[in-house]
Chain A
Amino acid sequence: MAGQNDERKFPRREFLVRTLQLPCSAAVVTVLGPLALGSDAAAASQSGSETSEHYFGMGIQVDKCIGCGKCVEACKAENDVPREPYYFRTWVERYVIHNDGDVSVDSPEGGIRGFPLHEGESDVLRSFFVPKLCNQCDNPPCVQVCPVGATFKTDDGVVLVDSDYCIGCRYCIQACPYGARYLDPRTNTADKCTFCYHRITQGLLPACVEVCPTGARIFGELNALASPLRRLMRMSSLQVLKPALNTEPKVFYSKLDGEVR
């Protein structure tokens, strides 16, 4: 009896499984097919003749930064970043390490107007400035989470936002471990540092690098044999922020203190 039942059941189950498999696989092919083709095309263009010869990166020499905030100012002017509320594509943090080892970090208005003298100056073991910006991750979590493909990595390694296509869902703002993104209140789309893409594609330096009076910021090509950035990479021991996250930043810091997060 039981055996008979099994014999009857089996073809029916098989039938159901097969009929379900058909639309599923059709859907997979329809939806993913073009995407897979798209990424194939991208891979081809990255290795083929259309490859951009550039691969951009930045170096920041922490021991040269004087916390003048000129870079913050220039970035806002160049990229039309809203002055208030205080959103930044680049900003400067002041780290103060106290005698008892406590660390305090401040960045009044992103450092755009410089820094006031630190209160309690006598309780300072050491202090320094750290300029921050989007790290242009080679493995960018912000790109992974975007549900519509509005943020992406170009062939020259820069992570950009397509503000015409962004739906303002804020996933990328949540996903960025460096707090580098904000929602532009005027357009309700995500925004962040582009390495001044409109400048670097015309052979100019990013605005923050152009105005940095001490040369703390260095911009250049990561895959060139000789570029100011390669020189820095040759001469200094470099670190990146939050290396354990495997985001593979392309913003490199020299003389970075272990306290910096």
Chain B
Amino acid sequence: MKIWRIPDQVIRLAVVLVAAVAVLVVVRGRFVPASFGETGHYRADAVDVVAAQPIRYAGSQICVECHDGEGEAKSGSFHRTVSCEVCHGPAAAHAEDFESQTPLIPRERGAECLSCHEYLSPRPTGFPQIIERLHNPLQPCIGCHDPHDPTPPEVPESCSACHAQIARTKAVSHHLTLECETCHDAQAEHREEPRSFLPRKPTAREFCGSCHSESADSPADIPRVDLRDHGERYLCWQCHYPHHPES
């Protein structure tokens, strides 16, 4: 009569299975957070939690709304890319409540200026650097330089004020006694507007030859070459670095 009968073992398995699925559903419901999976395999609400973090740096756009004079001075100066909070520290609290919250106002000679302007060889060539021990010791930086418009109060006397890396290299080379102007024709304006008035560089082998060729009228201990057959395909500085020529 019985055409087909569900075997006992299948029924038992099914019971276990249904119980397992029920447990799984309950556990998932309890442990998986509400917004999990809404936008991906994560809790969607977590994005709002991260986005709600408090802001500490206000951004210089807010600063210049009140401090327009400083903003104006800075906008055309060498410090135009330096935002206010680089030196004055995080100022969102001050922007909220300027009466009770004062930002940093660095006046001493020290870290705020030197962290950028103390000489370090990896700093890009042309970036203004000083050697703190030698540069007007004991004077506060702001005594001579207006930090919002730090054009040097007097045009720098030495090229090394900006070209510290080259100066250091040259100082340990055979060219140490040469003035920069021996090879570079720098107009006076270069010291005030360095990028608008670029100094000239030598263009011909004969320039170096005026000291280093066999016929040159120069001290006897200077190395000589015959310009006609010494590396004639190249300009001198394509092989020798003039600020540190090999002996």
Q: A residues touching B (Cβ–Cβ < 8 Å)?
A: 19, 22-23, 26-27, 30-31, 34-35, 37-39, 41-42, 45, 63-64, 66-70, 74, 77-79, 94-96, 113-115, 117-118, 121-122, 124, 127-129, 149-155, 160-165, 194, 197-199, 201-202, 204-205, 207, 210-211, 213-215
CB atoms of A68 and B115 under 8 A apart: yes
**Chain A interface SS verdict (over half):** mixed
Q: How far is the CA of A195 from the CA of B57 in the complex (A)?
A: 14
Q: Separation in Å of the A49 CB from the closest CB of chain B?
A: 14
B77 at the interface (CB under 8 A from A): no
Chain B residue numbers with a CB within 8 Å of A113 are 111, 115
CB atoms of A149 and B52 under 8 A apart: no
CB atoms of A149 and B41 under 8 A apart: yes
Interface-located stretch among B81-89, B181-189, B222-230? B81-89
CB atoms of A155 and B39 under 8 A apart: yes
Chain B residue numbers with a CB within 8 Å of A151 are 42
CB atoms of A30 and B21 under 8 A apart: yes
Q: Name A94's closest neighbour in chain B (CB-CB).
A: B122
Chain A residue numbers with a CB within 8 Å of B168 are 121
Q: Separation in Å of the A177 CB from the closest CB of chain B?
A: 21
Q: Separation in Å of the A251 CB from the closest CB of chain B?
A: 19
CB atoms of B36 and A149 under 8 A apart: yes
Residue from A66, A122, A153, A198 in contact with B40 in the complex, judged by beta carbons closer than 8 Å: A153
Q: How far is the CA of A95 from the CA of B81 in the complex (A)?
A: 25
Q: How far is the CA of A118 from the CA of B122 in the complex (A)?
A: 9
Q: A30-B21, A124-B121, A194-B50 are in contact. Are A19 and B13 (CB under 8 A)?
A: yes
CB atoms of A162 and B17 under 8 A apart: no
Q: Name A205's closest neighbour in chain B (CB-CB).
A: B59
Chain A residue numbers with a CB within 8 Å of B53 are 79, 197-198
CB atoms of B10 and A19 under 8 A apart: yes
